[in-house]
Amino acid sequence: MTTTQPARTAESSYFRRLPIGAEVLPGQGVHFRLWAPRANEAVVVFENGALPELKLERETGGYFSGKSADARPGMLYRFRFHGRDLLLPDPAARFQPSGPHGPSQIVDPSTFHWTDDGWRGISPEGQVLYEMHIGTFTPEGTFAAAQEQLNELKELGVTCVEVMPVADFPGRFGWGYDGVNFFAPTHLYGQPDDFRKFIDHAHAIGLGVILDVVYNHFGPDGNYLKEFSPDYFTDHYKTDWGEAINYDGENSAPVREFFISNARHWIEEYHLDGFRFDATQNIYDSSREHILAAVAATARRSAGKRSIYLVNENEPQHTTIVRPREKGGYGMDALWNDDFHHSALVMLTGRREAYYSDYRGQPQEFISAAKFGYLFQGQRYRWQKQRRGTPTYDLAPSAFVNFIENHDQVANLPQGLRTHQMCGPGHYRAMVALLLLMPGTPMLFQGQEFAASSGFYFFADHNAELNRLIRKGRAEFLKQFPSAASPGMEERFADPSDIKTFERCKVDLSERTKPFHAEIYQLYRDLLRLRRSEPALRGRWPGGLDGAVLGPRSFCLRYFSSDGNDRLAMFNFDGDHHLEIAPEPLLAPALGCTWRVQWSSEDPKYGGHGTIPLDSEENWWLPGHSAVVLQPARCGIDERDPDHARERQRIKK
């Protein structure tokens, strides 16, 4: 399905959907177009002599193009420049069946039969995200195998799958953030149509799918872009992973076109529901229109009537990204909230090393995160020796994606531990409740929902020298944590290039039904059901939530409802806590009501120890290491009291 109008190329009579790559022309063969401004001549070489070489015509602006009437989908090809023996894959190849170093394959996306004509996409409100690495989510590590699990995720309460990068990368395994073929889903996970089937099935059962894209750098292995033009990159900026991409320098217009076309490609040819943009702090652009704003606008136009969802990772917490274009923003929808994660891990583990050092894990941090999203909105951040964040007061709660696990944060621990492996079960259940009852958008990392025993480590498979450098770099990175730099720790670091490291990350989905894991799985299912079924928890209207600190490690959140049917959530990460005096108005029930327990993390079905009434004649008792949701229960009303009578009528309405 193409929702944007095709465009005529600069000096060609052929209409193309995208300005670069090999496009199948119905009944006319295949049209090739690439940007190689320093080449004198460009030729398409078909693999194994399947067709004669095709000399491309030079256009202005450094482009070459041409049509082969006999080329067909499935054929393999590469490019060769005049006077050179090197054969190069297409930078905009739709598939690399042998990986980044092999030939490109002609793909016709129009032959796939979509069944999602009625799908209208997803909006920022009400989402529950699930981060998935296709290669480790199932034993097979394929799109097809992952597709078989989508129904289970839907039943769990997930609304949108966030797929870690699939742009093709070298080697037998990898995270995907070192991709080099940005238009080609990796051959390791299946064929392009397998990814389309994954998305089509997701839509059929009511799940959205967004893709993690890396527009801040290319991987170091299999990256041939400099052979086409060194202007893809710039030395004016530095990134943490490689050369910066040239979005604003000399000859940057075709580079911008490459990425804008890439966003169109994924939306139009794969019906994706949006993107998660990796490390946008390393996307440097001083142009009048920032490349992220241009990509966002193009993606929305490409989706036509479908709504798409655009999420960002931005370490310095620049909220301009999610502000409307008319207010000077980029027009995106949401930002990952590292602040919440860091506070949560400090609360659960007591460890405050490295980038956790500016957090206390104290109740007020969680109340503030629930009300305002980011904790750092311009204050001094000691760890970085600079200010961090920008104001968020005018942003909706859905603008913040909260999590207690993701691929980075699990792998950044020297032993790749899951959150539940670093704290007591009561603490973990209470923190899961906080995550899923927060006003923001919750995100789960694969296997988190049943406390998977498999950890997650950084893994990448390259040549021997690059593997050595990656091992060294990874060890240096982990040593920012003083405990990881202590004697005997480095020998425990997982080797990123060892296939055993990759295999240790495979999620064992059978754990869903095993003791302990099944209890946690039920915890997540029930909390997600509660989240979507209770109007007070679902509603995110201004002033709809407030909170109060009740003790050194205890606090409450009050969810106000327009009909008076409020909810009160009590969180206690300490031992049993008796509030003998309770001068806190948020604890007071509505007029004519009392509080009763609606849900408790200490329910025996989750492995808990049971829950006593919290509000009694002895005032408030908060069970240790617990989260409890209270709902109003009617009690006697004095009809002679006019305030009570009015309250009764309001409740009836």
Q: Is the pTM above the cut of 0.85?
A: yes
Q: Are 466 and 557 in contact (CB under 8 A)?
A: no
Q: Which two tokens stand for residue 598?
A: 């609606």
- End-to-end alpha carbon distance in the chain: 48
- In this prediction, residue 640 carries a pLDDT of 42
What are the tens digits of pLDDT across the range 311-321? Answer: 999 999 999 99
- Distance between CA atoms of 65 and 44, rounded to whole angstroms? 10
Show which of 91, 111, 131 is a domain's final residue.
111
Confidence of residue 651 (pLDDT cuts 50, 70, 90): very low
Question: How would you label 394-410 residue by residue, b for 16+ Cβ within 10 Å and e otherwise?
Answer: ebbbbbbbbbbbbbbbb
Confidence of residue 129 (pLDDT cuts 50, 70, 90): very high
Q: Which two tokens stand for residue 204?
A: 């059929």
- Distance between CA atoms of 42 and 558, rounded to whole angstroms? 66
Partners of 577 in beta bridges? 622
Partners of 387 in beta bridges? 380
Quote the strand ranges of 126-188, DSSP E.
129-132, 160-163, 167-168, 181-185
Tell whether 86 is covered by a domain: yes
- In this prediction, residue 8 carries a pLDDT of 54
What are the tens digits of pLDDT across the range 226-257? Answer: 999 999 999 999 998 889 999 999 999 999 99
Nearest Cα to Cα of residue 575 among 543, 609, 528: 609
Confidence of residue 4 (pLDDT cuts 50, 70, 90): very low
CA angle at residue 273 from 268 to 278, to 5 degrees? 100
Count other C-beta atoms under 10 Å from residue 483's C-beta.
12
What are the tens digits of pLDDT across the range 270-303? Answer: 999 999 999 999 999 999 999 999 999 999 999 9
- What mean pLDDT do residues 352-367 have? 96
- In this prediction, residue 83 carries a pLDDT of 76
Which one is catalytic: 168, 178, 313, 603?
313
CA angle at residue 439 from 560 to 376, to 5 degrees? 120
Count other C-beta atoms under 10 Å from residue 597's C-beta.
18
DSSP 251-280: THHHHHHHHHHHHHHHHHHH---EEEE--G
367 in helix, strand or coil?
helix
Tell whether 298 is covered by a domain: no
Tell whether 549 is covered by a domain: yes
Count other C-beta atoms under 10 Å from residue 233's C-beta.
20
Q: Are 180 and 227 in contact (CB under 8 A)?
A: no
Tell whether 556 is covered by a domain: yes
Number of H helices, E strands in the chain: 16, 32
Active site residue 278: yes
Nearest Cα to Cα of residue 80 among 68, 69, 88: 88
Which one is catalytic: 90, 162, 269, 278?
278
What are the tens digits of pLDDT across the range 385-412? Answer: 999 999 999 999 999 999 999 999 999 9
Backbone dihedral angles phi then psi of residue 370, each to the nearest 5 degrees: -65, -35
Confidence of residue 539 (pLDDT cuts 50, 70, 90): low
Residue type, 480: Q
Tell whether 599 is covered by a domain: yes
Residue appearing with tokens 């050179």:
84
Q: Would you say how long the chain is, in residues? A: 653
- Distance between CA atoms of 340 and 289, rounded to whole angstroms? 31
Q: Tell whether the model's pLDDT for residue 9 goes beyond 70.
A: no
Confidence of residue 14 (pLDDT cuts 50, 70, 90): low
Please report, for the domain that includes residue 638, its CATH number: 2.60.40.1180
Show which of 79, 94, 111 is a domain's final residue.
111
DSSP-derived pairing of the beta strands 160-163 and 129-132: parallel
- Distance between CA atoms of 443 and 312, rounded to whole angstroms? 13
Q: Are 401 and 335 in contact (CB under 8 A)?
A: yes
What is the Rg, in whole angstroms, of the alpha carbon atoms belonging to the chain? 27
Return mean pLDDT, the chain: 93
Q: What percent of the chain has pLDDT over 90?
A: 87
Q: Tell whether the model's pLDDT for residue 107 goes beyond 60.
A: yes
What are the tens digits of pLDDT across the range 548-562? Answer: 999 999 999 999 998
CA angle at residue 27 from 22 to 29, to 5 degrees? 35
- What mean pLDDT do residues 68-97 have? 95
Tell whether 39 is covered by a domain: yes
- Distance between CA atoms of 37 and 277, rounded to whole angstroms? 29
- Distance between CA atoms of 646 and 648, rounded to whole angstroms? 5
Identify the residue with better confidence: 27 or 629: 629
Tell whether 223 is covered by a domain: no
Q: Which two tokens stand for residue 171?
A: 């080697």
- In this prediction, residue 563 carries a pLDDT of 83
- Distance between CA atoms of 106 and 95, rounded to whole angstroms? 7
- Structural domain span for residue 638: 544-652
Residue type, 25: L
Show which of 49, 81, 111 is a domain's final residue.
111
What are the tens digits of pLDDT across the range 417-469? Answer: 999 999 999 999 999 999 999 999 999 999 999 999 999 999 999 999 999 99
Q: Tell whether the model's pLDDT for residue 589 goes beyond 50.
A: yes
Supply the DSSP symbol for 307: B
- Distance between CA atoms of 86 and 94, rounded to whole angstroms? 21
Counting the structural domains of the chain, the total is: 2
Supply the DSSP symbol for 121: B
Tell whether 90 is covered by a domain: yes
Residue type, 8: R
- In this prediction, residue 52 carries a pLDDT of 97
- In this prediction, residue 638 carries a pLDDT of 45
Q: Are 378 and 390 in contact (CB under 8 A)?
A: yes
- Distance between CA atoms of 321 and 340, rounded to whole angstroms? 19
Q: Which two tokens stand for residue 401?
A: 């994606």
In a 10 Å sphere around its CB, with 0-12 CB exposed, 13-18 middle and 19+ buried, how is residue 585 labelled?
A: exposed
82 in helix, strand or coil?
coil
Backbone dihedral angles phi then psi of residue 501, each to the nearest 5 degrees: -65, -45
- In this prediction, residue 399 carries a pLDDT of 96
